[in-house]
Amino acid sequence: DCKGLEGEQWRIIKSWPAALEYIVRVLNAALMQPKQNRVAKVLNTLQLQLLKQNSRTCSMFTTNNVSEAAKEPVRLLLNLASQVAKVKKSPDKLFCVLYMHRALYDAIPTLSRVFGEEFVKKETEGVFGALKDSSLEIIRELKVLVQTYSPKKVPMEGCILTVTGYLMKYIRLLVNHIGSLDMILCTSQDNDLLTIEGVNPTGRLATGLIADLESVLKEKSSIYASEPGLQSLFLMNNAHFILQEVEESDVRLMVGAEWIKKRCYHIEQYKTDYLSSSWKQVVHHLETATSTSPPKRRRNNFLKIFYSTPSSLKSFESALNKTCKSQMHWKVPSPVLRIELRIHVIQYVVQAYRAYWEGLEESERSDLKDLEPDLKSKLNELFEG
């Protein structure tokens, strides 16, 4: 019953390709000529011995008898594949369908030799069509699920969304089915599942799914808009995870070098946006002081005798502590990206501090403690979550 295929039954159905392969191996053995295989020679000798003992039993062991006996199991398997193709579409069923499609495609040459092309065409044409249609419907369902994804809980530390991890694992599994998927996608009448990027149909499907995911990530990132920098950090984390999953698998061969180059550029843009939105206002106090001419700076220092205003360094320290405190719970899961981002932040902040420090007169420096070691230590604690 195609409406009741759940749980334990699916685990049994996953053995379908192995069952068909077993029948094909039996048929190939039956077709094999004795002179082509030493084992077959032994079997032939055994057959002669059996013939002497029981001619009736041995006469049943013929290629024709084996072929006829195999017809019913083959028909049953093909019927089961047709039933599976009718099951309610969900992404996890795709791989079962693709394994069936591949196994059946590989079995066609043997089945044609044994049963004849007319029998094979009559019995398998509809099954191939059903498996193809089922695969396309499942992929469309997957696209809809990605495009309409709405997380129950958004990670407030700017981490990776559940859908990002799920989809990239899914795409990595698609690599194992390039042969069947390319065949199915190439014969599809509509191209709504494919983008213009990708070196083959499966690659174009993968880039299309990732593009859907990127649109969702862009939309969901607005949740973080109230906290400067967190929106860019969220997009950076997810973009880096996607790129990492692609580069560490054969998916990179499907999407192409140009696609990877674009994603590397996007990640660098997110880093720049993060620095600008999070740390620009922190170093602004020092940059303003650095750009002030010495006479004007002396005049400002003189006026501070009469007006109690915080120094540029004090304002910088206050802004730095406030930003570090607000970002202390933010997380960058990738150790590589975490180190890279820390280096960027440290360079950005320390460079502004050094420019300010070097612009001070000798007498002013002697009255101030060099904060650079403390700055580096504090910034190295970021992004642990």
Query: What is residue 98's predicted lDDT score, i.e. its pLDDT?
Result: 94
Higher pLDDT, 11 or 98: 98
Q: How many CB atoms are closer than 10 A to CB 286?
A: 24
Q: State how far the alpha carbon of 379 is from the alpha carbons of 215, 315, 345, in Å.
A: 32, 17, 7
Is residue 357 pLDDT above 90, yes or no?
no
Give the Cα separation of 298 and 316 in Å (integer): 19
Is residue 72 pLDDT above 60, yes or no?
yes
Give pLDDT tens digits for 221-269. Answer: 999 988 889 999 999 999 999 999 999 999 999 999 999 999 999 999 9
Q: Would you say how long the chain is, in residues?
A: 385
Q: Which two structure tokens, joined as six digits, stand for 305?
A: 């005798």
Is residue 292 pLDDT above 90, yes or no?
no
Which range (14-28, 118-132, 309-323) has the least confidence? 309-323
Q: Which two structure tokens, joined as six digits, stand for 203?
A: 């690659």
The residues with which 331 forms a beta bridge, in sequence order, are: 384
Higher pLDDT, 271 or 297: 271
Sorting pLDDT into bands at 50, 70 and 90, what band is 304? Answer: very low
Average pLDDT over residues 115-128: 92
Query: What is residue 334's predicted lDDT score, i.e. its pLDDT?
Result: 95
Higher pLDDT, 291 or 306: 291
Sorting pLDDT into bands at 50, 70 and 90, what band is 290? Answer: confident
Write down the pTM of the prediction.
0.82
SS (H, E, C) 345-383: HHHHHHHHHHHHHHHCCHHHHHCCCCCHHHHHHHHCCCC
Query: What is residue 147's predicted lDDT score, i.e. its pLDDT?
Result: 94
Query: What is residue 58's predicted lDDT score, i.e. its pLDDT?
Result: 47
Is residue 307 pLDDT above 60, yes or no?
no
Give the Cα separation of 283 and 279 in Å (integer): 6
Which residue, among 158, 165, 180, has the nearest Cα to 383 in the 3D structure? 158
Which residue, among 214, 198, 196, has the nearest Cα to 206 in the 3D structure? 198
Q: At what angle do helices 178-186 and 117-147 cross, to 10 degrees?
A: 90
What does R_g of the chain's alpha carbons equal in angstroms? 33
Is residue 75 pLDDT above 60, yes or no?
yes
The residues with which 384 forms a beta bridge, in sequence order, are: 331
Give the Cα separation of 237 and 164 in Å (integer): 10
Q: Which two structure tokens, joined as six digits, stand for 187?
A: 């014969």
Q: Which two structure tokens, joined as six digits, stand for 364?
A: 């002013």
Q: What does the angle CA 52 – CA 55 – CA 61 come to, to the nearest 5 degrees? A: 115
Instruction: Name the one residue in this structure whose structure tokens are 């660098």.
Output: 268
Query: What is residue 103's predicted lDDT score, i.e. its pLDDT?
Result: 95
Give the Cα separation of 143 and 145 in Å (integer): 5
Report residue 264 CA to chain centroid gap: 16
Average pLDDT over residues 352-377: 81
Q: How many CB atoms are closer than 10 A to CB 150?
A: 9
Query: What is residue 191's predicted lDDT score, i.e. its pLDDT?
Result: 66
Is-contact 312 381, C-beta < 8 A?
Answer: no
Query: What is residue 20's predicted lDDT score, i.e. its pLDDT?
Result: 93
Which residue, among 76, 73, 80, 77, has the nearest Cα to 27 in the 3D structure? 73
Q: State how far the alpha carbon of 119 is from the alpha carbons of 62, 75, 112, 238, 336, in Å.
A: 20, 11, 8, 51, 58
Q: State how far the alpha carbon of 146 is from the alpha carbons of 20, 210, 249, in Å.
A: 34, 9, 21
Q: Which two structure tokens, joined as six digits, stand for 365?
A: 């420096």
Average pLDDT over residues 116-135: 93
